[in-house]
């Protein structure tokens, strides 16, 4: 695997994230960052499956409890709900494409490929790949989606073919079904239902019949977030959906239960590594 270091640039426009969306392909969103030196994420998760290609430079990749150094040619994978973060190393430049794939669409594709329909989504086992062919195919999919002269059918075929091949190349895993997992899952579901409320720790303990000390320790071990971090993560996930629907930043902040718009914007920037305004601007 050949690796190259991106050359730092003084052009501040390169640090601006580019978001690609197409209403005709609602199951897919692409984020491109050309100079990631100023792109810093707090630990976060997504409700969808994510896969990214490091196109230049080097960076740190946190996936659950594991840390990696990734570089040009690396492909990173995040299953829905998995805590992760990618951040620059010192002031070294790095660039990447990240694809966010609707979980329901991908789960249906898994069923069509013969995987069991008894669970919503079959998670991928690897979180990192150095497969040069996979990297090249991912790069080609991004180019195809962004191509202005490519017909819709061609884009749909490219996306479907790529993710079908991904399943033939990578293993999936069966989710844990232990009693402890189910109890903690109930806690997560409670927060999912009440995330716009000003929840207190005693509210969560009462809903789950767990002590505070056990809840915090076990929840963080299972989800790699504290309950409060999980709640903020869910708010920002929902905020991205509301922003895409056309709601104003002020409306979204109020809907999600933030104290004010500034608090929402700070939290959004910390978890998304882009401001709400940048996220709303699509490259087409």
Nearest alpha carbon to residue 33 among 52, 60, 50: 52
72-85: pLDDT as tens digits: 999 999 999 899 99
Task: Say how far apart CA 191 and CA 221 lie, in whole Å.
Answer: 17
Q: What is the mean pLDDT of residues 46-75?
A: 93
Query: What confidence category does residue 167 fall into, taking pLDDT thresholds of 50, 70 and 90?
Result: confident
The pLDDT of residue 4 is 38
The pLDDT of residue 93 is 87
The pLDDT of residue 183 is 78
Residue listed under structure tokens 């091949």? 165
Least confident of 14-18, 118-122, 187-191, 246-250: 14-18
The pLDDT of residue 9 is 45
The pLDDT of residue 6 is 38
Which stretches of the chain are assigned E, i.e. beta strand? Answer: 18-20, 28-33, 49-63, 66-71, 75-78, 84-88, 94-101, 123-124, 128-129, 172-173
Please give the structure tokens belonging to residue 50: 């994510």
106-165: pLDDT as tens digits: 999 988 888 877 777 888 989 999 999 999 999 999 999 999 989 899 999 999 999 999
The pLDDT of residue 13 is 61
Say if residue 3's pLDDT is above 50: no
What are the Cα distances from residue 185, in Å, to 29, 207, 215, 230, 237? 28, 12, 11, 12, 18
Task: Say how far apart CA 58 and CA 68 lie, in whole Å.
Answer: 10
Task: Say how far apart CA 127 and CA 80 lie, in whole Å.
Answer: 12
The pLDDT of residue 143 is 96
Q: Where are the domains of the chain?
A: 12-173, 179-280
Fold agreement between 12-173 and 179-280: no
High-pLDDT (> 90) share of the chain, %: 56
Q: What is the mean pLDDT of residues 36-54?
A: 90
Say if residue 14's pLDDT is above 80: no
Parallel, antiparallel or unpaired: strands 84-88 and 66-71: unpaired
To the nearest 10 degrees (0 to 180), the angle between helices 152-169 and 132-146 is 160
Q: What is the mean pLDDT of residues 252-279?
A: 94
Q: What's the CATH number for 179-280?
A: 1.10.10.60
- Count of other CB atoms within 10 angstroms of residue 147: 12
Query: What confidence category does residue 174 fall into, taking pLDDT thresholds of 50, 70 and 90?
Result: low
Say if residue 71's pLDDT is above 90: yes
Q: What is the mean pLDDT of residues 254-277?
A: 94
User: 12-173 adopts what CATH topology?
Assistant: Jelly Rolls (2.60.120)
The pLDDT of residue 15 is 58
Say if residue 195's pLDDT is above 70: yes
Task: Say how far apart CA 95 and CA 142 lie, in whole Å.
Answer: 14
Say if residue 210's pLDDT is above 50: yes
Residue listed under structure tokens 């013969």? 114
Say if residue 12's pLDDT is above 70: no
Say if residue 96's pLDDT is above 60: yes
Q: With contact defined as beta carbons under 8 Å apart, do 60 and 114 qualify?
A: no
**Quick one: CA torsion of 183, 184, 185, 187, rounded to 10 degrees?**
100
Say if residue 283's pLDDT is above 60: no
- What average pLDDT does the structure give for the chain? 87
Q: What is the mean pLDDT of residues 20-29?
A: 93
């Amino acid at each position: 695997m050949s690796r190259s270091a991106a050359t730092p640039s003084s052009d501040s426009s390169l640090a601006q994230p580019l978001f690609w969306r197409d209403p005709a392909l609602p199951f897919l969103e692409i984020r491109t960052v050309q100079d990631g030196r100023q792109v810093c994420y707090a630990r976060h998760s997504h409700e969808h499956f994510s896969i990214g290609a490091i196109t230049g430079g080097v960076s740190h990749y946190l996936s659950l409890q594991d840390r990696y150094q990734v570089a040009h040619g690396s492909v990173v994978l995040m299953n829905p709900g998995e805590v992760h973060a990618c951040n620059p190393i010192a002031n070294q430049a790095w660039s990447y494409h990240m694809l966010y794939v609707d979980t329901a669409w991908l789960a249906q594709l898994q069923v069509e490929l013969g995987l069991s329909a008894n669970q919503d989504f079959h998670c991928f086992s690897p979180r990192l790949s150095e497969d040069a062919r996979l990297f090249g195919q991912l790069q080609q999919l991004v180019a195809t989606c962004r191509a202005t002269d490519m017909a819709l059918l061609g884009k749909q075929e490219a996306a479907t073919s790529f993710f079908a091949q991904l399943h033939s190349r990578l293993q999936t895993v069966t989710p844990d079904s232990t009693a402890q997992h189910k109890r903690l899952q109930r806690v997560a579901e409670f927060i999912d239902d009440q995330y716009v409320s000003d929840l207190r720790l005693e509210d969560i303990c009462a809903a789950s019949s767990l002590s505070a000390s056990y809840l915090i320790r076990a929840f963080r071990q299972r989800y790699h977030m504290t309950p409060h971090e999980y709640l903020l993560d869910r708010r920002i996930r929902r905020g991205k959906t509301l922003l895409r629907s056309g709601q104003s930043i002020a409306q979204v902040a109020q809907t999600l239960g933030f104290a004010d718009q500034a608090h929402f914007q700070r939290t959004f920037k910390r978890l998304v590594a882009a401001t709400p305004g940048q996220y709303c601007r699509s490259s087409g």
